[in-house]
Structures are given as C-alpha cells and as structure tokens.
C-alpha cells in the first residue's frame, strides 16, 4: 500500500535514533526478555512443539492520543451491549445475511447451524461474548492536534510545513460529544463552528507557520503553542469487531511488560506511567470463570477449541495457566473440532460430555472461524453438537454471525443502529466510529457501490466474510477482483473506506532479521476487549477488559502478528499539551 507523503507522524515516546551500541545491547536483551516472559510464538518456518521464537515486537511503545484511547475504553461496554442485542435479533441476522449465504458457503454453513438451533430451541440461553473492537486513528480527521503531530511532508528552507498539511489541519470542524465518549467525524462537516473551534483553527494556522523541528534526521515542521487549549488529536474508526477467537489477551499485556523493560533499560522509567494498565488476560479469563459459575456444576470443565497446530500458543496457554493458578478447582481442556467429533456426546440433559464423562461448562473457540478448520462434515457436526449442548459457548452461533463483516456494514447505517441503541447520545457516539461501509448486494445501492469502487478503488478495501487476516483486497487490486465476480457473488463481500492512520517511527524487531534494526515508518491498530454475558432478556456481566496494540510497516496492507506482518506493541499515551521529545 502506498502512503501519502503528507501523512502526519505522531511524536515519539523517546528521542530516536538510539546510539548504535546502545540499540544493539537493548535489542538483544529485549529479545531474550520477550521469550522468557511469553511474548513468543511457535515458528512457522521451523516448527517444533519444543521451542518458541520471540514474537515480532516494536522496541519502544508507539504513541497514541490519550483522549482517544480513553474514549475507546469508555465506549466498549456500549459496543458490548450493541453486539449482544444484535446477536439476539433473529430477524435482523436473517435478513442481513440473506444474500450473503446464497453465495458464501462458509457463512451458509454457520447459518444452517443457527437455523437448526432456532428450530429446536436454544438448550443454553446464556452466551459468553469475549469481543475485541479493532480501530485505527484516522489522520484525515479534521481535529488533529497540532502539538502531537509532525508532518513528513517536505519542509521548505524555513522548515515550514507543506501547504497541504497545514490546510488539512486548519480545515477542521468540531467534534461531537455524547456520553463522554464521542469521537470526531472523519470528514469536515457543514455544521457551524463554535467560537472555541474558530480559535483553535486560528492558532493552528499561526503555529504551522511558526515552528520547526527535526525528527530522525528529517527536517519537518511542527507546531508548538503554549497557549493553545488541549484538543482532540485525531478521531478513530472501527476496523472490525471480532466475536470469535479474539486473540492477544496475553500478548497485549506481555507487550507492555517487554516495552516497560526496554524503557527502564534506556533510562526512561519516568515514561512508564503513560503506558496504561492492561488487565486483558485476567479480564477475559475471569469472563470464562463467570460463565463457569453460571453453569454451576463444580466438576465441570472449561474447553478450549484449538487448531490442529497452535502457532500462537502463548496466547492460549497463558489463559489456561491463569485459570489454573487463580481458580485451581477449574480444569481446562484443549481439543480440536476433530477431537470433539470423535469423543463428544450429549448427556441426558444435553450436557456436553467428553471421554471419561467430563462435563463441559464453557467452550472457548480459538478455532472454527475459517473454512480450513473444518476438514470434513465431521467438524461441522462437532460444531453443531456443541451448539445444541448445554455448555455456554464463546461465541454461541448467533454471536459468531453477529461478528460478520456483513453485519458490521449493516450496522453502520444510522437507521439500523437505532434498532439496537435507544439512548440518543450513545447512538451518536457509536455512529461516529463507523467509516463508510457499503453493501455490494445485487440491487441498486450495491450496484452503485460497485461503480464507485471501479471509479476510485484507491479509496477502499474489499472484504469477504472471513476472519484471521489475509483475505481482503486493497485499492488498485479491487477492480480486477470485482470484475471476476458475478453480480450475485459480489454480495458475499463488502466495501469499506480505507482508514489512513498517522505514522509512528520506531524499531521493529523480528526473529531472524538483521541486527541492529533500522527506524521504519509504522501504523498501529488498537484492539479493545470487552466481555458480555447474558441471554436474550438480560445482560448479567458487561465490562471492558483491557487492550492490545498491533503495529505494522506503513506500507503493509495487513498487520497480523501470527501471519508475520505485524508486531506486538502497546500504547504510550500522549496529551496535546505534552512537551516535544524531539
Ligand atoms: P480480519 O477479520 O481478517 O482480521 P480485518 O477487517 O480486521 O479482517 O482486516 C485485516 C487488516 O486489514 C486489519 O487488521 C487492517 O490492518 C487492515 N484493514 C482492514 N480494514 C481496513 C480499513 N478500512 N482501512 C485500513 N486498513 C484496514
Ligand atoms: Mg482483524
């Protein structure tokens, strides 16, 4: 993916580059520290069950605007409730996926299970949702804080920012509020500006012309105004919401551990308070245990459904170890879908029983979200068996379907959102997190989206109903992909506006890569975890449960860490009135 040269750069946590000898020493230590604290994975190229590699990581935490982080955290329980309501709206799920299941076999198979379960009635009415809402900052947002950003646009001899960068910032309009969790709109809006906004803009214009700075040896312009009031830095947009196998409950907090160590080693312990506490592992595992409590049978176990080979093993075993250490009376088992087909059966009250008569209270799916996990009808039968059982599922089939891209696209329409959120302030706040999402169904609206994608493909990403990375089509590749599909086939996909996150600069450390690492341009994706437990009538538990940050090269389309493209990271929170490091 090409990167616009005017993309703003977020101010660094510490001054870079590091002196080479210090960089070599701290990187070598950090690699060992990562392996020894479970920031690790099994190697794909040299797989062995007996060894681990450190997971790729960013050496120093990437900056993230504090206000936007806090908004995302505050919004999560509302998103949890939204997804819970969506999952329990049979009519909405059925109509929304109607066209998709005609052409997408995988979604159709999931939907078939849903249909059968609906026909027979739910044996277990309670669901365990362990969600992760993924988001990116949008640098096209009109509210960029002048102090948090540097422009990589070429500076003229006076060190002034390019006109384009100045205009991009100065053109901003105001943000929405709403239950303290509002995020600003992605595009300038027509509404009248408040006096405060006018003042802010004037300050931006003045300051863009006044100051300069040097970052990583590149002279760029920056803005520094002591008198400017704190403002939102930048809005963020949801990339997707995950309702199945939301990973990094361990690797999120583990990234913070590694980067805290690095900052201390570099003599920057003073920076640690700006790395937010991350309780993801405990939050998610406690969710499973709360579900186990609801099931209320002392001998019952928690079952993890796993892939045939688990590369991302730390992010599963640490969950298991946390449960075993914190709640030693609860046993955790790991089985593949194939194993469940072989040994699983239902008891008299539809309890899920594994060999030896072990009764399963809670099923945590870390597999089952992609076609490759179902080798034959056996695995689908196993999924159905579990779905009809008394065990509490994470996710239950309706939650899985609620997490499809097609549902996300439908929810982005205000009229649809209204169906699930009553409070107008909450509606407003959630409505703003969606970037443009377009149906490609075979109807007038879908055909208009198709034409739009052919005209300006560089603005979009094309997504199928898949999870796990590597399935999307980006920018200039979209027209060919679309033209290969029939009109009906297109309805299995959705079209989404590309989000343009600001850049950060830093060192990415990868197994087997050359030492020392060099400074690269990167972009980050923040994931906020949420836990929600309840049935169609009641929500029993609903809370935000920590976060994770993944960072990729700015030129990469996707940033899956397990897929080898992204790197572990954690947010370093910055405020609009911070002093510049550089
Ligand atoms: P998956 O379910 O495969 O994880 P995602 O929707 O999360 O699918 O897309 C995978 C990756 O593609 C994201 O992690 C992100 O890096 C990139 N991506 C997805 N949507 C967008 C978007 N609208 N703008 C920019 N990048 C995106
Ligand atoms: Mg994703």
Residue 129, CA atoms < 13 Å, CB-side half-sphere: 39
> How many C-beta atoms lie closer than 10 Å to residue 254's C-beta?
27
**CA–CA distance, 577 with 148 (Å, rounded to integer):** 8
The closest residue, in CA terms, to atom 10 on ligand 1 is 469
Q: Which ligand is nearest to the CA of 467?
A: 1
Q: How far is the CA of 236 from the centre of ligand 1 (A)?
A: 14
Q: How far is the CA of 172 from the centre of ligand 2 (A)?
A: 29
User: Do β-strands 358-365 and 301-305 pair in parallel, antiparallel, or remain unpaired?
Assistant: parallel
Using CA of residue 35, residue 133, residue 508, residue 457, what is the dihedral sign? positive
The H-assigned helical ranges of 266-359 are 280-295, 314-326, 337-343
Pocket around ligand 1 at a 6 A CB cut-off: 134, 239-240, 461, 463, 466-469, 471-472, 496, 498-499, 525, 558-559
What is the predicted pLDDT for the residue at 151?
Answer: 52
What is the predicted pLDDT for the residue at 216?
Answer: 27
What is the predicted pLDDT for the residue at 172?
Answer: 29
**CA–CA distance, 38 with 567 (Å, rounded to integer):** 14
What percent of the chain clears pLDDT 70, i.e. is strictly above it?
Answer: 83
How far is residue 519 from each of residues 58, 394, 409, 508, 522, measured CA to CA in Å? 10, 40, 36, 8, 9
For residues 567 and 57, is the Cβ–Cβ distance under 8 A?
yes
Q: Which ligand is nearest to the CA of 408?
A: 1
What is the predicted pLDDT for the residue at 565?
Answer: 79
Residue 2: helix, strand or coil by DSSP? coil
Query: If 0-12 CB within 10 Å is exposed, 13-18 middle and 19+ buried, where does residue 370 land?
Result: middle
368 annotated ligand-binding residue: no
What is the predicted pLDDT for the residue at 3?
Answer: 79
Query: If 0-12 CB within 10 Å is exposed, 13-18 middle and 19+ buried, where does residue 377 land?
Result: exposed
Q: 382-411 in b/e burial notation, b at 16+ Cβ within 10 A? A: bbbbbbbbbbbbbbbbbbbbbbbbbbbbbb
The closest residue, in CA terms, to atom 6 on ligand 1 is 240
Q: Block means of pLDDT (10 residues each) for the chain, length 582 residues?
A: 83 97 98 98 95 98 96 98 98 97 97 97 98 94 61 38 32 31 34 38 34 26 32 77 98 98 98 98 98 98 98 98 98 98 98 97 98 98 98 98 98 95 96 96 96 98 93 96 96 96 96 95 97 98 98 88 85 80 52
Tokens linked to 330: 């609860």
Residue 456: helix, strand or coil by DSSP? coil
**CA–CA distance, 52 with 459 (Å, rounded to integer):** 39
Q: How far is the CA of 246 from the centre of ligand 2 (A)?
A: 9
Which pLDDT tens digit goes with each residue over 494-550?
999 999 999 999 999 999 999 999 999 999 999 999 999 999 999 999 999 999 999
Cis bond before residue 516 (omega within 30° of 0): yes
What is the predicted pLDDT for the residue at 189?
Answer: 31
Phi/psi at 437 (5° precision) = -130, 130
Cis bond before residue 17 (omega within 30° of 0): yes
For residues 509 and 27, is the Cβ–Cβ distance under 8 A?
yes
471 annotated ligand-binding residue: yes
Cis bond before residue 62 (omega within 30° of 0): no
Which pLDDT tens digit goes with each residue over 249-276?
999 999 999 999 999 999 999 999 999 9
Residue to probe by mutation, ligand 1, list 239, 438, 470, 565, most atoms within 8 Å of CB: 239
Q: How far is the CA of 560 from the centre of ligand 1 (A)?
A: 9
Q: How far is the CA of 300 from the centre of ligand 2 (A)?
A: 32
Q: How far is the CA of 468 from the centre of ligand 2 (A)?
A: 6
Q: Which residue has the tokens 């230590």?
A: 29
**CA–CA distance, 147 with 578 (Å, rounded to integer):** 8
Which atom of ligand 1 is the closest one to the Cα of 470?
Answer: 3
For residues 528 and 500, is the Cβ–Cβ distance under 8 A?
no
467 annotated ligand-binding residue: yes
């Amino acid at each position: 993916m090409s990167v616009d040269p005017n993309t703003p750069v977020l101010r660094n946590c510490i001054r870079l580059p590091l002196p080479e000898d210090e960089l070599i020493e701290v990187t070598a230590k950090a690699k060992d520290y990562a392996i020894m604290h479970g920031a690790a994975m099994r190697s794909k190229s040299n797989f062995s069950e007996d060894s681990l590699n450190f997971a790729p990581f960013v050496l120093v935490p990437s900056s993230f605007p504090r206000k936007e982080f806090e908004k995302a955290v505050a919004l999560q329980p509302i998103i949890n409730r939204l997804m819970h309501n969506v999952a329990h709206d049979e009519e909405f799920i059925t109509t929304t996926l109607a066209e998709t299941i005609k052409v997408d076999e995988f979604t159709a198979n999931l939907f078939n299970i849903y249909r059968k379960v609906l026909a027979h009635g739910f044996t277990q009415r309670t669901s365990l949702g362990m969600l992760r809402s993924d988001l990116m900052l949008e640098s096209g947002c009109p509210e960029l804080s002048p102090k948090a950003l540097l422009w990589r646009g070429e500076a003229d001899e006076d060190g002034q920012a390019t006109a384009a960068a100045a205009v991009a910032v100065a053109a901003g309009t105001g943000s929405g509020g709403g239950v303290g969790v509002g995020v600003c709109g992605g595009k300038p809006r027509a509404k009248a500006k408040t006096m405060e906004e006018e003042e802010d803009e004037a300050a931006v214009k003045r300051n863009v012309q006044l100051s300069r700075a040097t970052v990583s040896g590149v002279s760029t312009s920056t803005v520094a105004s002591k008198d400017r009031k704190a403002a939102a830095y930048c809005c963020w947009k949801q990339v997707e919401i995950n309702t199945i196998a939301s990973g990094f409950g361990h690797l999120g907090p583990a990234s913070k551990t590694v980067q805290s160590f690095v900052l201390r080693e570099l003599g920057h312990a003073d920076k640690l308070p700006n790395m937010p506490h991350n309780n993801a592992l405990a939050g998610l595992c406690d969710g499973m245990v709360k579900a186990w409590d609801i099931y209320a049978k002392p001998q019952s176990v928690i079952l993890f459904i796993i892939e045939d080979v688990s590369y991302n093993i730390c992010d599963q075993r640490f969950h298991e170890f946390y449960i075993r250490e914190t709640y030693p009376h609860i046993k955790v088992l790991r089985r593949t879908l194939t194993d469940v087909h072989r040994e699983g059966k239902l008891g008299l009250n539809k309890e899920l029983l594994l060999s030896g008569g072990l009764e399963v209270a809670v099923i945590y799916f870390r597999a089952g979200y992609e076609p490759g996990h179902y080798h034959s009808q056996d695995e689908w039968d196993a999924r159905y068996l579990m779905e009809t059982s008394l065990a509490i599922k994470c996710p239950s089939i309706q939650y899985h379907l609620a997490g499809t891209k097609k549902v996300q696209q439908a929810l982005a329409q205000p009229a649809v959102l209204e169906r699930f959120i009553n409070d107008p302030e909450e509606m407003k706040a959630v409505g703003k997190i969606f970037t443009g999402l377009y149906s490609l169904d075979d109807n007038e609206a879908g055909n208009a989206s198709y034409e739009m994608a052919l005209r300006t493909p560089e603005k979009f990403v094309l997504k199928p109903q898949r999870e796990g990375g590597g399935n999307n089509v980006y920018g200039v590749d979209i027209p060919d992909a679309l033209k290969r599909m029939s009109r009906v086939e297109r309805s299995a996909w959705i079209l989404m506006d590309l989000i343009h996150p600001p850049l950060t600069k830093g060192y990415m450390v990868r197994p087997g890569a050359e030492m020392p690492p060099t400074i690269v341009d990167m972009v980050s994706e923040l994931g906020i975890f949420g836990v929600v437990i309840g049935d169609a009538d009641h929500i029993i538990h609903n809370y935000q449960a920590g976060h994770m940050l993944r960072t990729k090269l700015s030129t990469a389309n996707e940033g899956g860490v397990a897929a080898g493209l992204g790197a572990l990271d954690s947010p370093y929170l910055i405020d609009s009135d911070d002093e510049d490091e550089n």
